[in-house]
Structure 1
Amino acid sequence: MKIKSILILLLSLQISLICHAEDAATATPIPQELLTGFSAVPQPTTTPFQAILTDPTGNFSLGFLRQNQNQLKLAVIHVASSEPFWVANPTRLASWAHTTRLSFNGSLVLSDSKTGVSWSTATNGHRAVLLNNSNLQVQNRATQTPIWESFHFPTNTLVQDQNLTADKSLVSSNGLYSFRLGDDFMGLYTNLNGGKRLLYWKHTAMEAKDEVKEGEGPIYARVNSEGGYLGMYQTSSKPVDVQKFSTFQQDSTTSSFLLVRLETDGNLKGYYWNGSNWMLNYEAIGETCELPNPCGSYGLCTPGGAGCSCLDNQTRFESGGCEGGGGGDLCGGRGFGGGESYRVLRRSGVEPPHKELVAHVTTASLAGCEGLCERNCSCWGVFYSNATGFCYVLDYPVGTVLGTGDGSKVGYFKVREGGEGRNRVGARVGIVVGVLVLIGVVIFGVGLCVKRLQRRRGVSGGMLKEENGHGASPGPYRNLKSASFRSIEMSVPISR
């Protein structure tokens, strides 16, 4: 009985301690403002998000978002779904360590005692707050107006009632794609090396409700929460273009929330929150082959759901593309004009994706089109149409090519004989050399055996007399000339 009483007492004590711990946790609410002197460091046991600041509704939170166990992003997330809406410095991750600190001294500053400041608002404000639309602000002491706000520095997401101006852009989390505004259009771009951008989707303002007026300022994009659409505006409250969210239904409850996001495949998608899930309700690109690079380097995408394959028709398609991929150019090595060595791949029935957005010249023949690229080390390939004479020149690495049933459309592509290609060649050479060395060792060993056999039988010279008096090689050498040996062929598979 005494043991039972002790066990009951210990259990009660444990339950009491757990309750007190929970009470202590709930007794320390997440603040709704950060004042001068505030600082916070990541806690070692926190995963995956450590909240630092919340909005009045509790729907959004600013805090440390854990990445790869030992790194962090300073991010604003949607609490119910844990989706990040904004990241302070997406290209430079901080360490999840006690040396990392977020502080407020008029500026929000993310720093590391070992590496220094990694991000700052560079302001002189009174407080930092998070609004109920997920906008993080540093506000002025006297007027309580924002002197800095996260809405002016979007990452990959545009939320409802947030303006995307012409001097800003959305960038996919992998850094490969961007969403930008032109004079009268919105466009999606592939971000190439050297700061170059390649337009692969363009939507021009339809001017249904208002006109784009020259000289009256640039346009901006905005997710309209009342009508449920992505709109382009200029100076009027009336949009110059409307792209409706197809499945959006007006919802007056506080749970409904709209956004558009540039995804890692290069598509711009719209979503709304139904209270428990993000529901897809808009896609800028509806066909897989119209995405910027769905099949990777030297991949072939055929419309109609045929899937991905490789341009050379022999290499097995794998995730990420086919052989020969890589960035840079062909001007930095030992080939023509100092360029890299390469082989040529030709394929009929292909055309450039998004060709209506690609510049072209007119040549009299396919040979003339190829000639524009052959001696130009910055050219990776060309497309030629025999019907029109249009020649499309690629001054960037070959990505996914569009398949078509028209045999009059031909592609000419350079495949770098370096990187993967050079490794494959080296592997094949290594196999051949290894086989030759093995043959040499076998022959040398057989020779030693023959000599030893001769010494044992007391025979001099390299020939033995058979009973019929004809000279013949000893057993092993005789076998080398046999029909069974000649029937063996040694081959090394060469992948293309």
Structure 2
Amino acid sequence: MKIIHITVKSPFLLFIAALLITHLSKSTAIIPQQLVRGFTANPNPTVTNFQPLLNDSTGNFSLSFLRVNQDQLALAIVHVASGEPLWQANSAELAQWGEHTQLVFNGSFVISDHGSRVLWSTNTDGDRVVLTSAPNLQILKGEKSPSLLWQSFDFPSNTLVENQNFTSDMSLVSSNGVYTMRLGPDFIGLYAKFKHIGSDPSQIYYRHRAMQAKVNIVEGRGPILVRISSDGFLGMYQNGSTPADIQSFNSYQRSAPAPRRVRIEDDGNLKGYYWSGSSWVLDYQAISETCELPSLCGLYGLCRSGVGCSCLDNQTQTQTQTQNQTQSQQCYPNQEIGDLCSVKGNKFWELRKTGVELPYKELMSYVETASYEQCEKSCHMNCTCWGILYNNASKFCYNVDYPIQTILEVGHESKMGYFKVWEGAKKKKDKRLWIGIGLLCGAMILVGLVVGFGGYKLWKRKKRVNNRILEEEHINAPGPYKDLGSSSFGSIELSNR
């Protein structure tokens, strides 16, 4: 290491040199590749995106304080080049980005607020922390043959990375907390939290069963697991290295830069990406048809394939959609009640629509009824029912026991729907209507004032013109000398000659 000797005689230059050395030392601060007992860190108020605390050996990943919603903090493993979090500590409450928040390693990783309130902890007794290039955060015990006490691979957030085993004991949860990926005995399932509190909180809306082309999944031989392969597929395994099922990515068996990852998005889709060196490239999506997403158009929304979103009751308020992001506005306000049974008097109003069905009806339970009227009646009398979808051809009656999400427009008159809307939503809607009427009346009054003021100015101008004409006529009329204008003096002089 080359040592630079600086001799400065002037106090002013000495001050400048000290500032320069301090700045250089901060800008070239070395991020450690290992943390030991006694480590503490506080968020830097000047950081706007993420604050690195621990790097992997390649420098591609960093355990960091990640800014969330401007004033909150999450402990995350960040892909440095993109700033994209690949893992976040599953704390029930996010810490504040402030001086009172502290991360400590005392054998356990602990995030605390105001020095005493623990927001998240690994509950371990380790000696050091490392971040592998997988990336996998690990707490180790011992030096020569360290034992693994805890790893982030066992506690995924919303993302699964390459070569990470995802088991039936785990779940991926979207960042908005609505959608979840879990494993069944022989399938991958996506679930949504649409139902009211007190019942099963999750509604399955996507299921991919193992094809079992090469290996059969045998009941009793242990649970299945899912793993992303570097060859570009999502594989399903049971007690072996040969997959029982693969879901191929677009880059299947083609060379693609690492890392690869799969994430459950805030719209409920499961998508795969790889890092191209400059951006994340979409490589896979479980649900390719956007109208089949569970709530693309929001509450009481209607989705038409290739067209987009509208509302079940044909309101003028609509939504727009893009390939990668949904920009939606609810047709009705979010339901503020757990279920219709908790509302005194069970007050609701009704919507009926033909040519509609559920986007994931094959995963919904149903009963057979002789007629649509019988199907509707079964829901009308049941306070846990928010609506029904009926197929007049099959006589299948699908019961929806949660506030109505996006419904598909299919155009077949034999497919009918009946939907309940909590009366409170109608009142809010009426409030918006009265606001609109008030604004319209205000605009009409303003236009009236403008027109009236313009008419007044026109009347005044016309009055001035009429007065001028009268004055001119009065001047030219015969009369006494004092009524003549100054222009008359010439004519008077001529008449005296």
Q: TM-score range by the shorter chain?
A: 0.7 to 0.9
The alignment-based identity, stated in percent, is 50
1:46 match: 47
Q: Tell me how far apart the structure 2 counterparts of residues 179 and 41 of structure 1 sit (CA, whole Å).
A: 33
Q: Tell me how far apart the structure 2 counterparts of residues 10 and 320 of structure 1 sit (CA, whole Å).
A: 63
- Equivalenced residues, count: 416
Cα contact 2:354–2:414 (8 A) shared by 1: yes
Alignment of 1:56-67 (within 5 A): 56-67=57-68
Q: Tell me how far apart the structure 1 counterparts of residues 315 and 432 of structure 2 sit (CA, whole Å).
A: 18
- Over residues 244-299 of structure 1, what are the superposed CA-to-partner deviations in whole Å (9 max), with x where a residue is unaligned? 111356448xx521110111111101111122211111010111111111111111
Q: Tell me how far apart the structure 2 counterparts of residues 425 and 279 of structure 1 sit (CA, whole Å).
A: 45
2:238 match: 234
2:331 match: 322
2:35 match: 34
Cα contact 2:92–2:119 (8 A) shared by 1: no
Q: Tell me how far apart the structure 2 counterparts of residues 426 and 23 of structure 1 sit (CA, whole Å).
A: 60
Secondary structure of the 2:376 match is helix
Cα contact 2:108–2:126 (8 A) shared by 1: yes
287-296 vs 26-35, greater mean Cα deviation: 26-35
1:415 match: 421
Amino acid in structure 2 at the alignment position of 1:24: S
Q: Tell me how far apart the structure 2 counterparts of residues 352 and 27 of structure 1 sit (CA, whole Å).
A: 57
Change (3 A) 1:427 1:404: closer
2:312 match: 311
Change (3 A) 1:396 1:18: same
User: C-alpha displacement at 1:22, in angstroms?
Assistant: 4.7
Q: Tell me how far apart the structure 1 counterparts of residues 384 and 216 of structure 2 sit (CA, whole Å).
A: 41
Q: Tell me how far apart the structure 1 counterparts of residues 166 and 400 of structure 2 sit (CA, whole Å).
A: 31
2:395 match: 389
Task: Pick one of 153, 172, 176 that aligns with 1:151.
Answer: 153
User: C-alpha displacement at 1:165, in angstroms?
Assistant: 0.5
Change (3 A) 1:347 1:117: same
Secondary structure of the 1:20 match is helix
Cα contact 1:248–1:272 (8 A) shared by 2: no
1:472 match: none
Amino acid in structure 1 at the alignment position of 2:160: L
Cα contact 1:248–1:281 (8 A) shared by 2: no
Q: Tell me how far apart the structure 1 counterparts of residues 137 and 340 of structure 2 sit (CA, whole Å).
A: 45
Secondary structure of the 1:295 match is coil
User: C-alpha displacement at 1:204, in angstroms?
Assistant: 0.3
Q: Tell me how far apart the structure 2 counterparts of residues 246 and 65 of structure 1 sit (CA, whole Å).
A: 31
Alignment of 1:203-352 (within 5 A): 203-225=208-230, 227-248=231-252, 250-251=254-255, 256-303=258-305, 305-318=306-319, 319-323=328-332, 325-326=334-335, 328-335=338-345, 339=346, 341-352=347-358
104-113 vs 150-159, greater mean Cα deviation: 104-113
2:202 match: 197
Cα contact 2:113–2:119 (8 A) shared by 1: yes
Pick the structure with greater CA Rg. Answer: 2
421-430 vs 280-289, greater mean Cα deviation: 421-430
- Over residues 423-450 of structure 1, what are the superposed CA-to-partner deviations in whole Å (9 max), with x where a residue is unaligned? 34467789999xxxxxxxxxxxxxxxxx
Cα contact 2:385–2:402 (8 A) shared by 1: yes
Q: Tell me how far apart the structure 1 counterparts of residues 182 and 225 of structure 2 sit (CA, whole Å).
A: 10
Q: Tell me how far apart the structure 2 counterparts of residues 116 and 222 of structure 1 sit (CA, whole Å).
A: 36
TM-score normalised per structure 1:
0.79
In structure 1, runs of 5+ residues without a counterpart are: 1-8, 434-496
User: C-alpha displacement at 1:154, in angstroms?
Assistant: 0.2
Change (3 A) 1:276 1:18: farther
Q: Tell me how far apart the structure 2 counterparts of residues 190 and 57 of structure 1 sit (CA, whole Å).
A: 37
Task: Pick one of 158, 162, 167 that aligns with 1:165.
Answer: 167
In structure 2, runs of 5+ residues without a counterpart are: 1-9, 320-327, 439-497
Amino acid in structure 1 at the alignment position of 2:218: K
User: C-alpha displacement at 1:16, in angstroms?
Assistant: 5.5
Cα contact 2:127–2:139 (8 A) shared by 1: yes
Secondary structure of the 1:331 match is helix
Change (3 A) 1:430 1:16: closer
User: C-alpha displacement at 1:26, in angstroms?
Assistant: 5.3
Amino acid in structure 2 at the alignment position of 1:411: G
Q: Does residue 188 of the first structure (1) align with residue 194 of the second (2)? A: no
Q: Tell me how far apart the structure 2 counterparts of residues 165 and 426 of structure 1 sit (CA, whole Å).
A: 49
1:97 match: 98
Amino acid in structure 2 at the alignment position of 1:217: G
Q: Tell me how far apart the structure 2 counterparts of residues 157 and 298 of structure 1 sit (CA, whole Å).
A: 30
Change (3 A) 1:82 1:384: same
User: C-alpha displacement at 1:19, in angstroms?
Assistant: 5.0
User: C-alpha displacement at 1:314, in angstroms?
Assistant: 3.0
Change (3 A) 1:241 1:15: farther
Q: Does residue 376 of the first structure (1) align with residue 382 of the second (2)? A: yes
Amino acid in structure 1 at the alignment position of 2:364: V
Amino acid in structure 2 at the alignment position of 1:208: A
Q: Tell me how far apart the structure 2 counterparts of residues 42 and 426 of structure 1 sit (CA, whole Å).
A: 44
Cα contact 2:368–2:396 (8 A) shared by 1: yes
User: C-alpha displacement at 1:13, in angstroms?
Assistant: 8.2
Q: Tell me how far apart the structure 2 counterparts of residues 315 and 10 of structure 1 sit (CA, whole Å).
A: 73
Cα contact 1:315–1:322 (8 A) shared by 2: no
Cα contact 2:297–2:330 (8 A) shared by 1: yes
Secondary structure of the 2:375 match is helix
1:487 match: none
User: C-alpha displacement at 1:101, in angstroms?
Assistant: 0.7
Change (3 A) 1:173 1:44: same
Cα contact 1:259–1:271 (8 A) shared by 2: yes
Secondary structure of the 2:205 match is strand
